[in-house]
Amino acid sequence: MNRPTLQGARQALVASSILLATASQAATGLVDCPSFDVLRKQEADKIATRQLKPLTAEPTQPELRKELLAMMERDQSARSKAAASAKTRGGQPEQALILAIFQADQDNVSRMREIVEANQFPDAPQVGRDGLRAAWLVAAHADRDPQLQAKLLALLEPQAKKGDIVPQDFALLSDRVKVSQGLPQLYGSQFRASGGINHPQPIEKPEGLEARRAEQGLLTMRDYGCLLQQFHGIPVDLVPHTQVIH
């Protein structure tokens, strides 16, 4: 089983720095994009239309819900601090803050593994829909433990079918698991930079991509590419890679 380590985090940090350096030399990318703020609002509006209301009954496992929400707070706090640092440092956050993200992910994934191995993964009545979303967030950031991530996807799938997880979230996790398994993604959410250009990972049945994205409440592929291009500062080309790049 692949388990995350800080050594692996440092290696990933070096790799991402190389990609950023290479990207700065590239001149191509999407043009005539809406502004970042406009795209973020469009994305937020789409999410809001699918937003789930809290369950009326009190969670039957309040302590587990509290723990899951704390895990989500740890995740988001580490990423918010890195993002704030990046804004003041020309897009490159302090290395210590990047490592803090990896540490938060490692701690959260380790605890989630214990929950799964004890057959205690919850449903919405047990921890509320907010607690379940916190569990989804840990799963989404469990890329360094692909076996666990795939298990979490399988555990979350029936809950998504019951309407306890927003479709955008489930689509994102589904794509991440497929890419980690070397398979084409369904919704086009996963990109990888090569030669200073960000491309989607391979896409299954690309002729139906926009219809699938619309069904899940996602931005069009072009708007999503524009959003990524402005967020990461790496030019985007919407032609997918021919094979998964890890």
pLDDT tops 60 at residue 219: yes
Residue 2 pLDDT: 45
Residue 93 pLDDT: 83
pLDDT tops 80 at residue 171: yes
43-52, 76-85, 161-170, 177-186, range with greatest mean pLDDT: 177-186
pLDDT digits (tens, 9 = 90+) for 20-62: 444 344 447 999 999 999 999 999 898 888 888 889 999 999 9
The helices-and-strands tally (H runs, E runs) of the chain is: 9, 2
How much of the chain, in percent, has pLDDT values that exceed 70? Answer: 89
pLDDT tops 80 at residue 6: no
Residue 236 pLDDT: 96
How much of the chain, in percent, has pLDDT values that exceed 90? Answer: 74
User: pLDDT averaged over the chain?
Assistant: 88
Q: Give the SS3 label for residue 94.
A: coil
- Comparing CA positions, the residue from 166, 169, 187 lying closest to residue 178 is 187
Q: List the single range of 15-24, 41-50, 101-110, 126-135 with lowest mean pLDDT.
A: 15-24
CA gap 12, 23 in Å, rounded? 16
pTM for the full predicted model: 0.82
Q: Looking at residue 206, what DSSP letter applies?
A: G
Segment holding 76, helix H or strand E: helix 62-88
Kindly state the tokens that stand for 146.
């692909």
What's the burial of 188, exposed, middle or buried (CB within 10 Å: 0-12/13-18/19+)? buried
Q: Which residue has the higher pLDDT, 19 or 234?
A: 234
Residue 246 pLDDT: 86
For the segment 201-207, the average pLDDT, to the nearest whole number, is 97
